[in-house]
Structure 1
Amino acid sequence: METTRVDEKIENMDYSYFINALSSRRRPALTRELTKLAYLAPKEAISLAEGMPNELTFPFEQIDITMKDGSIMTLKGSILGSALQYIPTQGYPPLVKTLKEFTYKVHQPPNWENSELLVINGSQDGISKSIEMCIQEGEPVVVQNPLYAGIEIIINPYKSPLLAVDQDQYGMVPELLKQQLENWKEKCLQDETLRMPKIMYINPTGSNPTGTTMTLERKREIYKICCEYNILILEDDPYFFMHFLDELTPSFLSMDVEGRVLRFDSFSKVLSSGMRVGWVTAAKPLIQALELHIQSSYLHSSTLSQSIANGLLQLWGFDKLLEHLEEVTAFYKARRDITISAMEKYLTGLCEWTIPAGGMFVWIKVHGVGDVYEMLMNRGLKKLITFVPGHAFMADPTQACSYIRASYSKAAPKQIEKAMKLLGELIREEKLLLRRKLENCT
């Protein structure tokens, strides 16, 4: 009975509402479709259709990659030939198959039969194309506030209002989301040129920049609200496995009975950021539209990177991959603990913060300094310490901001300790300067 109910909900979704006019006009290239067929054809089939170079002309004989555990992954012969060749836009077929198995194993999406998966050049590429697929100039987008800075630069050229929803220690607050949507609905009733939002961007685990991780109950509340207002959820979750909780919180994808979640996963934070291997899972009509966009731009994501990722997954298997992810999480949790310890030592009384529940960042509020920009970007740089002013992550970056984002991913433990000590000195100096300015004014 449950399957029938889910299927009915999917059938009731009008995806044409979410796909803008430009994206809906894209058509598949016949040559790309033939490339897809070539990978599915029997070995005895003869094709004179593909305009591919012959692998015999490539100067590469073999690629050996030695892992830290001493195991070696080798690409040679026909496997290397495939790794250096054009592939279907959806992705390197063996990797697509592996990622589908992994995604189902982890999330068990209730609408899996109606879903598809597409390999992308890291999450940023997929998110950018998804936003470009959905919105037109002036259409609003729901975001969490503060938000990942890479989203604002995508949306800004569209002159789209950001319906910003504040966060607490567990991420976006459902009551504030509902309130924001109701307020915007009232504006739409008063101004016929305004439109209700079609998409919401959310970073639910180890959020950048706050480090917050959403609870299952909160995800369910937000999903219900998005169903009520007919909003697609862009679930950007690169830190999904880098959580510091006792248990992994199920994803929005795992509860998506209506087919309104586009989930973005990535190997950037756990295998290699430079490989640029990510994937998006969503309802088939949405994936088809995204695939056509990639067809028209760069044909497909790097085959070599995909082949290496697939080779690694075949070498390791899912159990070894999950073991590696646990090691990555332990690494960052240790760095987080070192960072919080240093902050307690040097910033107590000067700042406040919430202990990150995942990811690479801690979000720090400075007491008594209304705007940290000059303090960090001028006097801070002179002390040879670098933090990101909170302005970069706010829905309105022009407003004064007393927040700082600190990343504990790269700096060594001793460097983290020194940086927090210098930040404490910097804040005290800034407060002294502000006090003197105030005295001079009076």
Structure 2
Amino acid sequence: MNYSRYLNLTSLSRQPSPIRVLTGIMQQAPPTMISMAGGRPNPNLFPIKGVSISLRDGTTVNIEPNLVQKGLQYSATPGLNEMLDWVKNLQKDVHNPPTLNSSDVDKQLDMLIIPGSQDGLSKAFEAFVTEKDNILIESPTYSGTLAILKPMRSNLLSVQTDKHGIIPNHLRKILSKWSPKDTKDPNSDIPKILYCIPNGGNPTGHGLTLERRQEIYKIAQEYDLLIMEDDPYFYLQNSQPYIPSFLSMDVDGRVLRFDSFSKLLSSGMRVAIITGPKAIINRIALHMQASVVHASGMSQVLLYTILEKMGLNGFKEHVKNVASFYQQQRDHCLTSAEKHIKGLAEWYVPECGMFLWMKLIGIPDSYKLITEKAREKEVLFVPGNAFMLNSEEPCPYVRASYSESSPEEMDMAFERLASVLREAK
């Protein structure tokens, strides 16, 4: 793998911050080390002395004083050692990446604690994308990703999806414009990046089958693509065992995986993980050194304390319960949709996640109907154009989220939507 091929000039030009390097050294230093090199504030002036967490099971956890002090102070950019060790063990247990202990240092797996997947995605794209680059992206796709990419003036190549996610034949059809040999030509405009949400796709709720994942990975090998595996809904899969991730089959070191605790433990703490080849992770870490410095120390401490109390098996049991809840919510949503808008819209059953993706029948564009007429009926959905590569084109789709609404609220929401749709006929 020639990792410099994927990185733009800005990313390749980044140099380590001397202060950030010292902070990392101090995090590993023995207690006898005396440092007059850093610019850290004196922690004795911080007003917070201790922190305790009240959990839903009725227990209270007092965070160890040394962890509180670590969380309040500047830390190394990759993350607190305790949190990094925990997630490394999690990734090894769940995904068992083939490159975990690769002898190739650049290819060797590394991890980075980031302040939410959105920030990690932004920094990754900013490391990869140059103006007019061709980027392969599933369509429809997450609106937050489009918000990152569109101002970069790149060419977004829409890869078609269905209820099973990216259609491999369409991916190959797009790439057939080039030859795999073009990957060796630095002046070629052949795409280098493939972005996808393999589980519970936002907005579609689709899930890539194992067969499709394997085929897509083979295409990535053939055309030397770097796969950006954005997978915040991995643990919300309804099937057990989980469908293997791209990371779990990544023998080459060509997968950059984004995991998030937002859907599982807390969305407000803004803690997520990037896992991938050291050569790429290092570039993103250098960007963090120049921007956010590191993910919130206290958020890492709080989540680490919760995860440590749960243990690996406890975490697995927790996420199964979370997935079960969302499956029940999905079923309630489908029941209400079937009851009120059958014949007015069509959809397929979401594989997992939080969303139902509906195509309105006989209505070429949902935008005004959803943003104006539906709002007048006191019901909110998201018009489908928010998830399309070209948001200016008419779009008949609508996204419904079933994550928070009660069954009664969902029933009322679809009843109101049905009224809007009938009036539009």
Q: Give TM-score, length-normalised by structure 1.
A: 0.92
Structure 1 CA distance, aligned partners of 2:179 and 2:397?
31
Partner of 2:112, secondary structure, is strand
Give the corresponding residue for 1:271.
265
Q: 1:63 aligns with which of 39, 46, 51?
A: 51
Post-superposition shift, 1:78? Answer: 2.0
In structure 1, distance between residues paired with 2:318 and 2:342? 35
Whichever of the two has the greater Rg, that structure is 1
In 2, the alpha carbon distance for the partners of 1:107 and 1:245 equals 16
In structure 2, which of residues 12, 16, 20 is the aligned counterpart of residue 32 of structure 1? 20
Answering whether residue 218 of structure 2 is matched by residue 230 of structure 1, we say: no
1:328 to 319, 322, 330: 322
- 2:105 aligned residue: none
SS at match of 1:138: coil
CA deviation string 1:79-128 (max 9, x = no partner): 21111000000001110011101111000000112110000011111111
Secondary structure at 2:227's aligned position in 1? strand
Q: What is the match of residue 161 of structure 2?
A: 167
Aligned letter for 2:324?
A
- Partner SS, residue 364 of structure 1: strand
1:287 paired to 2:281:
yes
Would you identify which runs of 4 or more consecutive aligned residues in structure 1 move more than 4 Å?
Answer: none
Q: Deviations over 1:21-51 (max 9, x none)?
A: 1111110011111111111112222222221
2:13 maps to a residue whose letter is R
**Alpha-carbon distance in 2 for matches of 1:51, 1:118:** 23
Q: Is the 8 A contact 1:235 1:262 kept in 2?
A: yes
Q: 1:140 aligns with which of 116, 134, 141?
A: 134
For residues 41 and 320 of structure 1, the distance between their equivalents in structure 2, rounded to whole angstroms, comes to 32
Q: Is 2:190 the partner of 1:206?
A: no
Q: Which amino acid aligns with 1:20?
A: N
Note if 1:429 corresponds to 2:417. no
* Distance in 2 separating the partners of 1:152 and 1:180: 20
Alignment of 1:31-430 (within 5 A): 31-113=19-101, 114-183=108-177, 195-430=189-424
Distance 1:427 1:194, change over 3 A: farther
- How far 1:317 moved relative to its partner? 0.4
Measured after TM superposition, the shift of residue 161 of structure 1 is 1.0
Maintained 8 Å contact 1:139/1:194? no
| Residue identity matched to 1:172 | I
Q: Deviation string for 1:325-367 (max 9, x for gaps)?
A: 0111111111100000011111111111010110000100111
d(CA) in 1 for partners of 2:380 and 2:362?
20
SS in 2 for 1:287: helix
Letter in 2 for 1:416: M
Distance, in Å, in 2 between the alignment partners of 1:31 and 1:324 is: 39
Q: CA deviation at 1:242?
A: 0.4
The residue type paired with residue 83 of structure 1 is G
Which stretch of the first structure deviates more once superposed, 70-79 or 265-274? 70-79
Query: Separation in 2 of the partners of 1:372 and 1:50?
Result: 56
Alpha-carbon shift at residue 426 of structure 1 (Å) = 1.0
Return the alpha-carbon distance in structure 2 between the equivalents of residues 328 and 201 of structure 1. 26
Cα shift readout 1:255-307 (whole Å, capped 9, x = no counterpart): 00110100000100111100000010000000110100000112111000001
Q: CA RMSD in A?
A: 1.6
Distance change in 2, residues 1:216/1:43 (3 Å): same
**Residue type matched to 2:283 in 1?**
A
Q: State the identity as a percent.
A: 41
Which structure features the higher share of helix residues? Answer: 1
Q: CA deviation at 1:395?
A: 1.4
User: How much does 1:75 deviate?
Assistant: 2.5
Shift of 1:184: 6.1
Deviates more, 1:176-185 or 1:196-205: 176-185
The one-letter code matched in structure 2 to 1:182 is S
CA contact (8 A) 1:390 1:402 kept: yes
1:255 maps to amino acid: M
Matched residue, 1:9: none
The one-letter code sitting in structure 2 at the alignment partner of 1:207 is G
Looking at structure 2, the residues matched to 430 and 267 of structure 1 have their Cα atoms a distance apart, in angstroms, of 41
**For the residues of structure 1 that align with 2:367 and 2:26, how far apart are their CA atoms?**
55
Check whether the contact 1:20–1:135 (CA below 8 A) recurs between aligned residues. yes
CA distance in 2, matches of 1:301, 1:414: 39
> 1:367 and 1:260 mapped to 2: Cα distance?
41
Shift of 1:386: 0.6
1:135, 1:198 within 8 Å by CA — same for their partners in 2?
A: no
Given that 1:213 and 1:358 are in contact with CA atoms closer than 8 Å, whether structure 2 keeps it comes out as yes
Q: How many residues align?
A: 416
Counterpart AA for 1:289: R
Query: Which whole-Å CA distance do the structure 1 matches of 2:42 and 2:61 have between them?
Result: 24
> Partners of 1:349 and 1:32 in 2: how far apart?
59
- What letter matches 1:350 in structure 2? L
Distance in 1, Cα, partners of 2:366 & 2:308: 48
CA drift at 1:194: 6.5
Contact 1:61–1:76 (CA under 8 A) maintained in structure 2: no
Contact 1:245 1:357 in 2 (8 A): no
Letter in 1 for 2:98: P
Gaps of 5+ in 1: 1-12, 432-442
What is the rounded CA distance, in whole Å, between the counterparts of 1:238 and 1:156 in structure 2?
Answer: 22
How does the TM-score come out when normalised to structure 2?
Answer: 0.95
